[in-house]
Each structure stands twice: as C-alpha cells, then as structure tokens.
Amino acid sequence: IYGVKICRVPGVELSERICALAAQKGYRVFIYGAREEVNRRAAEVLQERFPAIRIAGRANGYLPEDQMGDLIDRINLSGAEILFVALGSPKQELWISRFREDLKTVRVCQGIGGTLDTLAGTVRRAPEFWCRWNGEWLYRLLAEPRRIKRQRVLPLFATQVIFLKFRNLMNLPA
C-alpha cells in the first residue's frame, strides 16, 4: 500500500520451510488440528518429505474442552519446540493466545489453517496463476462456496486495499 515490498509466503510453503529447518536442526514438531485421518496423513506426508523430522506428537482438532489440559500436558511431555495449530482462523489464533503461557517447551507456534488438508491431499492448492496474483484465497472461496459466510470479510478487505492503492497512486486526500 505504501510502496513497501513484502515477500508473500503462503501458509503451506511456510510450514514446509519450518519443517525443513526442524529436520535439519533436530527440532521436535507437534501437530494439532484437523480431522484425525487428515492429521495422521499430513504427519505421514511430512515424514516422507523430511525423513529426519521428529514428529513429537499429534492430536486431531476435535478434542472436547475438558481435554485441553491433557493436550497441553501431552505437548509439554513431547518436548516439542514447534507447534502447528490447524483449527482455522480465528479459532487457532485464539487457542494459541489462550494457551501460549502453558506451552513450556514450544518456541514457535504457527496457526496453519487448512495446511494439513493440503498436505494430506484432501484439498488442492490453487493453480499457479492464482498463487502468483495473490488470489489463492479467492480461488478457495470460489472452489468451496460453503466458506463464503466465514470469509465474506475477505472481499471487503481486498476492495479496501485496492481502493487505498489507487488513492495513493492518484495522490488523493484521505
């Protein structure tokens, strides 16, 4: 918006880069979120792609509230330094904010949204064209109309960004 170039890294790619680093450095990774079969398959895929990765543990994202204490204990006992939380936004950010002080060994906690679904192969990534033009979110919205209620704020945000960009290009007052 203000002429600052920012390198965009989609969540799937960032997660893979973190996993590559974790495998290289020997960091332990805990994966929390998604359906059980998706979580399990995503962990298998990460193990295949990064043979040296240390998956310290995993848990599906459908644990009842009364099991959160047990989950935190499992994460801490696993010795995980990296925690991926795949609950969708804003639920994952709220979960991280709520429990971050209780995570004794975790040094990096990343909300990864639908990344596990992509890794497990249950959701396809947007074609390269959409990614190149930063429209992956729009592709997913069009491909999965059931998401529209939850993501209705994104088109509004995109419209505001475009408006601000053009206003700045035209040197119009705020």
pLDDT score at 10: 78
> Residue 56 phi/psi, 5° resolution?
-75, -25
Residue with tokens 């991280």: 96
Cβ atoms 75, 106 nearer than 8 A? yes
| Whether 54 and 108 share a structural domain | yes
Which structure tokens are listed for 90? 């804003």
List helix spans (H) across 3-67.
11-25, 36-49
Do residues 40 and 120 share a domain?
yes
- Residue 155 is predicted with a pLDDT of 66
pTM equals 0.79
Same domain, 21 and 45: yes
pLDDT score, position 69 = 98
β-pair partners for 29: 55, 82
DSSP result, 43-102? HHHHHHH-TT-EEEEEE-S---GGGHHHHHHHHHHHT-SEEEEES-TTHHHHHHHHHGGG
Matching residue, tokens 């989609």: 10
- Could you tell me the two tokens for 126? 């947007």
At 150 the pLDDT is: 63
> What is the C-alpha separation between 19 and 3, in angstroms, rounded?
32
Q: Answer with the one of 125, 141, 158 that is the final residue of a domain.
A: 125
**Cα dihedral value 36, 106, 46, 124, nearest 10:** 60
Question: Do 140 and 121 share a domain, yes or no?
Answer: no
pLDDT of residue 173: 65
**ω before 90 within 30° of 0 (cis)?**
yes
- 70 shares a domain with 27: yes
What pLDDT is stored for residue 28 in this prediction? 99
Measured over the CA atoms of residue 159, residue 161, residue 166 and residue 172, the dihedral's sign is positive
pLDDT number for residue 166: 74
Quote the number of domains for the chain.
2
Question: Range of 136's domain?
Answer: 126-174
Residue 146 confidence (pLDDT) = 74
pLDDT at 109: 97
- CA–CA dist 129, 145 (Å, integer): 20
Per-residue pLDDT of the chain (174 residues; tens, 9 = 90+): 567 777 777 788 999 999 999 999 999 999 999 999 999 999 999 999 999 999 999 999 999 999 999 999 999 999 999 999 999 888 999 999 999 999 999 999 999 989 999 999 998 888 888 888 778 777 877 887 776 666 666 667 777 777 777 777 777 666
